[in-house]
A = this chain, B = another copy of it.
Amino acid sequence: MAELKFRVIFSPGMFFGPGKADLLDLIVAEGSIAAAGRRMNMSYKRAWQLVEEMNAMFAVPLVASARGGSGGGGAWLTEAGQAVLAEYRGLQRDLAEAGAARLTALEARLAGTDPQG
């Protein structure tokens, strides 16, 4: 089935898309930036880079982290991080719904499409 792939462009080179959203979701699931990055086959350095990019982009950092301690530190989403992630996932749902009929119309014109299907 056809689907939309999109990112939000705030300005040239400044965007938020599926990779950043998935990384935030995995930071929630894993409690660690490194572990979240590994789940996306991303190097430790790349995962931190994306987090730093997001934290610098928004007025309030999206991801907070602590080093060491008996719990071994970890990472979590701030309230701003949770809000941005929820807004993006909501956007994703809204766009999928708004685009559904036209995606179906485009898909019906593809080669090898069964006109009876």
- Whether A99 touches B94, Cβ cut-off 8 Å, given contacts A5-B7, A10-B2, is yes
Q: How far is the CB of A17 from chain B (nearest CB, A)?
A: 8
How many copies of this chain?
2
Write out the residue numbers on chain B whose beta carbons fall within 8 Å of the beta carbon of A113: 59
Closest residue of chain B to A106, judged by CB?
B87
Q: Once the chains bind, are A10 and B59 in contact (CB under 8 Å)?
A: no
Binary interface profile of A, 74-117, with partner B (CB < 8 Å = 1, else 0)? 00000010011001101100110111001101110111110000
Point out residues on A near B: beta carbons under 8 Å.
2-10, 15-16, 56-60, 80, 83-84, 87-88, 90-91, 94-95, 97-99, 102-103, 105-107, 109-113
